[in-house]
Amino acid sequence: MKKLLIICGLLFSVVTFANAQQGGGQGGQRPGGGRMGGGTPEERVKQLDEKVKLTDEQKTKATAVYAEIADAQKKMREEAQAGGDRQAMMEKMQKLNADTDTKINALLNDDQKKTYKTWQDEVKAAREKMMRERQGGGGNGK
């Protein structure tokens, strides 16, 4: 049970970017053809580029942001596996998500920010729907 909650927390931190990812061996099983997990910083940048059409400079900077986030997530996973405080972990994940969003927004122009915001709203709605289905008994029946 503890591992499940930790995994849910980690997924929460990356679902923003993972949900709309196209292709891959498991694409199509989430709304919008995304798959859970987020992938490498390069995969995340590719996904972001597909949505907001990044310049080469933006791609380089976004890769650095996502690499920094990946390092922080790795440390959090290690801490969680060592028996860290679950509530504190969730708070850290939420802060990490907010920081990531702020850093990515800082790289974007006004049109890209609008597209990014729309995408984030779609991902949030899909995530909430998925969580409701899980809480409702798995969502495999009507």
Q: What is the pLDDT of residues 54-113, one digit of tens each?
A: 999 999 999 999 999 989 888 888 887 888 777 888 888 889 889 999 999 999 999 999
pTM of the model: 0.64
Neighbours of 111 (CB within 10 A): 10
Would you say 10 and 77 are in contact if contact means Cβ atoms under 8 Å apart? yes
Contacts of 141 (CB under 8 A, 6+ apart): none
Burial of 132 (0-12, 13-18, 19+ CB in 10 A): exposed
Phi-psi region of 37 (alpha: psi -120 to 50; beta: other; left: phi over 0): left
Q: How far apart are CA 46 and CA 17, in angstroms?
A: 10
Residue 132 lies in a domain: no
Residue 105 lies in a domain: yes
Residue 47 lies in a domain: yes
Residue 129 lies in a domain: no
**pLDDT exceeds cutoff 90 at 142:** no
Q: What is the pLDDT of residue 26?
A: 40
* Containing structural domain, residue 70: 2-120
Domain tally for the chain?
1
How far CA 141 is from CA of 19, 31, 138, in Å, comes to: 23, 18, 8
